[in-house]
Amino acid sequence: EHYIARIQATRHLNAFVHIYADEALQQAKALDEKRANGQAIGRLHGVVIGIKDVIAHKHHPLGAASNILKGFQSIYSATAVERLLAEDAIIIGSLNCDEFAMGSTNENSAYGKVLNAADETRVPGGSSGGSAVAVQAGLCMLSLGSDTGGSVRQPADFCGVIGFKPTYGRISRYGLIAYGSSFDQIGIFGTDVKDIALALEIMAGPDDYDSTASQQAPEDYTTTIPHKDSYRIAYFPEALDHPSLDPLISKAIYKQLEELKASGHEVKPVKFDLLDFIVPAYYILTTAEASSNLSRYDGVRYGHRTTQPVTDLVDFYKKNRTEGFGKEVKRRIMLGTFVLSAGYYDAYFTKAQKVRKILTNQIQLIFNEFDCIVLPTSPTTAFKAGEKTEDPIAMYIADIYTVMANLVGVPAISLPLFRHENGLPFGLQVMTNRFNELTLLRFSDELM
Ligand code: GLN
C-alpha cells in the first residue's frame, strides 16, 4: 500500500508505464498468509520490484516504450523475473525507458519523457530512466533495467542511486528484448549494495533458454560481502583529464583516489590511449546488431499493423515499421544496415570488431595486475530536458565512460558517492574482471 500510494503521488514523474496495484496487493496478502501459516518463505518475501518495459512478465504488457508493440502482452516471463517471483518478490509494475533501450535521457519514449526527481527540469538519464527514478523516488525497493552501453549505470549516476551491470552472460537474457545481443545484460538499481548482491545471486546462473548465459554458478555474494581487503586499483589519467569531463567531477574522483591510497589500497595510473575509439566502435557494432534484431518487428505475427491500404507484402512491412518505430530507432536501423552493407562491411563493421578485440586484450592485461578500474560514470551531471535531443552525436559521445564495460563484457557499477556544486548527484564507476562480481560488490560495499 505504501508503494502504491507513493507511485500515485508521483505520477507526474512518469516513471511507471503500467502499475499492477490490485495484483500486487493480492500477492502481498497471499504472502502474509504464507508466513502466518508457517510455510517456508522466499528470500525476497514481499520485496517490491519494478521492471523496465523491455523485460517480459507473463500475461503483462511488454512494449519497449515503442508504438510498434503497443497493446502487446508477453506470453512468457524472463528467466530473471521467474527467479525473483520464485523467491516471493512482488512485481509492482513496468518502467518507462527509451524506445528499445536506445538513448541516454529517456526522452525517446512512446510514453513521453521521465523527470529526474532530484531536479524535475532535468533528464533522469537513460535508457533505463524510469527504473532509476523508481528507486530514487522510493517507488519500489529495487528495480531492473538493461545495460547495453551504460543504460543502468548512467541513469543511476544522474539520479543518485546504485546501478549495477553484471558480467556479460551472468544473468540470462531470455525474456529481455534484444538491442545489441553481444552487449545486453539485465542490471539492477538499488540503494544498498547488499540488496543488489541478493538480487544478483537469485537471478544469476545457467539457463537452458539462453546459450550465452554462463555455466558458472553464481557465488554466495550476500554472506561474503562485508569484507575488508586491500585492493589494487587502476585509473586512467587520459580518462580523468579528458576535455569532455566536467572538471569538478574529475577533481572529486582524484580526491577519492587519494583517500583510497591513504586508507592502504594500491592506487596507480595506467596509460590508456583507446578512449577515442570506443564510442565509434560501440555505435557501429550495436547499431549493426540492432538492425538485425529489430527486423522481427514487421507487424505480421504481432505488434503494430497499419490501417492504410497496402499494395504488397513489402509495402505492408514498410508501413508497419514507418508508423511503429520512433526517430532514434529508425536512425539506428539505418546506421546498422549501412555498416553491414556489402561495400562498407570491412571499413566499419570488421574494423569495429578489431577495436573491440584490441580493447578486450588491453583491459585483460590491466586485470592481470589490478583488481579494479575506477572511472567516472558520465562526463557531466544530468542535463536539462531537451538539451541534447537535436544533437545525436553529442548524446552518443556522452557514453564515453560506460560503453567500455559492455564492449569487453566485464561487470561494472556506478556508486552515488558525490554531489556537484550544482546540487546534483554523480557517481563513481568501478569495473572488475569478468565474473569477478564478488570483488566488485565487496569493494563497493566498502565505499558506500
Ligand atoms: N546510451 C547508450 C545507447 O543509446 C546505451 C543504451 C543502453 O545501454 N541500452 O546505446
Residue 227 confidence (pLDDT): 80
For the chain, count helices (H), then strands (E): 16, 11
Task: Pick the atom of ligand 1 nearest to 150's CA.
Answer: 8
The answer to whether the CB of 362 falls within 8 A of the CB of 408 is no
Question: Any catalytic annotation for residue 250?
Answer: no
Mean pLDDT of the chain: 97
Kindly report, residue by residue over 44-56, the tens digit of the pLDDT: 999 999 999 999 9
CA 281/CA 373 separation, integer angstroms: 21
Residue at 265 is within a domain: no
Kindly report, residue by residue over 107-163, the tens digit of the pLDDT: 999 999 999 999 999 999 999 999 999 999 999 999 999 999 999 999 999 999 999
Confidence of residue 59 (pLDDT cuts 50, 70, 90): very high
Task: Pick the atom of ligand 1 nearest to 406's CA.
Answer: 8
CA 112/CA 31 separation, integer angstroms: 34
Q: Which of 74, 94, 104, 151 is catalytic?
A: 151
Residue at 75 is within a domain: yes
Question: Any catalytic annotation for residue 341?
Answer: no
Does the structure show a pLDDT above 90 at 433?
A: yes
Task: Pick the atom of ligand 1 nearest to 282's CA.
Answer: 10
Distance 293 CA to ligand 1 centre (A): 15
Which residue from 188, 286, 400, 414 has its CB within 8 A of the most atoms of ligand 1, so it is best to mutate?
286
Residue at 370 is within a domain: no
Which residue segment(s) compose the domain that 159 sits in? 2-224
Question: Any catalytic annotation for residue 127?
Answer: yes
Kindly report, residue by residue over 371-428, the tens digit of the pLDDT: 999 999 999 999 999 998 889 888 999 999 999 999 999 999 999 999 999 999 999 9
- Write the DSSP string, 161-220: SEEEE--TTSB--TTBPPSSTTT-EEEEEESSHHHHHHHHHHHBS--TT-TTS-SSPPP-
CA 213 to chain CA centroid, nearest Å: 17
In this structure, the number of other CB atoms found within 10 A of the CB of residue 224 comes to 12
Q: Which of 127, 214, 291, 378 is catalytic?
A: 127
CA 95/CA 98 separation, integer angstroms: 10
The answer to whether the CB of 389 falls within 8 A of the CB of 411 is no
The answer to whether the CB of 227 falls within 8 A of the CB of 262 is no
Distance 228 CA to ligand 1 centre (A): 34
Q: Which residues of 139-154 are buried (b: 16+ CB within 10 A; e: fewer)?
A: bbbbbbbbbbbbbbbb
Which residue from 151, 153, 176, 383 has its CB within 8 A of the most atoms of ligand 1, so it is best to mutate?
151
Run of H or E including 376 = strand 372-376
Confidence of residue 9 (pLDDT cuts 50, 70, 90): very high
Confidence of residue 219 (pLDDT cuts 50, 70, 90): confident
Residue at 55 is within a domain: yes
Task: Pick the atom of ligand 1 nearest to 180's CA.
Answer: 9
Does the structure show a pLDDT above 90 at 225?
A: no
Task: Pick the atom of ligand 1 nearest to 146's CA.
Answer: 9
Alpha-carbon separation of residue 237 from 198, 220, 257, 366 (angstroms):
34, 35, 12, 14
Cell reading at 82: 521467474
Cell reading at 34: 504464507
Distance 109 CA to ligand 1 centre (A): 13
Distance 192 CA to ligand 1 centre (A): 24
Distance 102 CA to ligand 1 centre (A): 5
With 0-12 CB in 10 A as exposed, 13-18 as middle and 19+ as buried, what is 12? exposed
Query: CA nearest 126: which of 62, 197, 48, 65?
Result: 65
With 0-12 CB in 10 A as exposed, 13-18 as middle and 19+ as buried, what is 228? exposed
**Residue 192 maps to which CATH number?**
3.90.1300.10
Residue 348 confidence (pLDDT): 97
Q: Which of 52, 113, 165, 319 is catalytic?
A: 52
- Residues touching ligand 1 (Cβ under 6 Å) are 101-104, 127, 146-151, 179, 286, 399
Residue 218 confidence (pLDDT): 87
Distance 128 CA to ligand 1 centre (A): 9
Atom 4, ligand 1: which residue's CA is nearest?
A: 103
CA 186/CA 48 separation, integer angstroms: 17
Q: What angle do CA 360, 365, 368 make, to 5 degrees?
A: 125
Residue at 313 is within a domain: no
Q: What percentage of the chain exceeds 90 in pLDDT?
A: 95
Confidence of residue 222 (pLDDT cuts 50, 70, 90): confident
Tally of structural domains, the chain = 1
Does the structure show a pLDDT above 90 at 228?
A: no
Residue at 412 is within a domain: no
Atom 5, ligand 1: which residue's CA is nearest?
A: 149
Query: CA nearest 403: which of 382, 429, 423?
Result: 429
Residue at 126 is within a domain: yes
Residue at 101 is within a domain: yes
CA 333/CA 292 separation, integer angstroms: 8
The answer to whether the CB of 65 falls within 8 A of the CB of 96 is yes
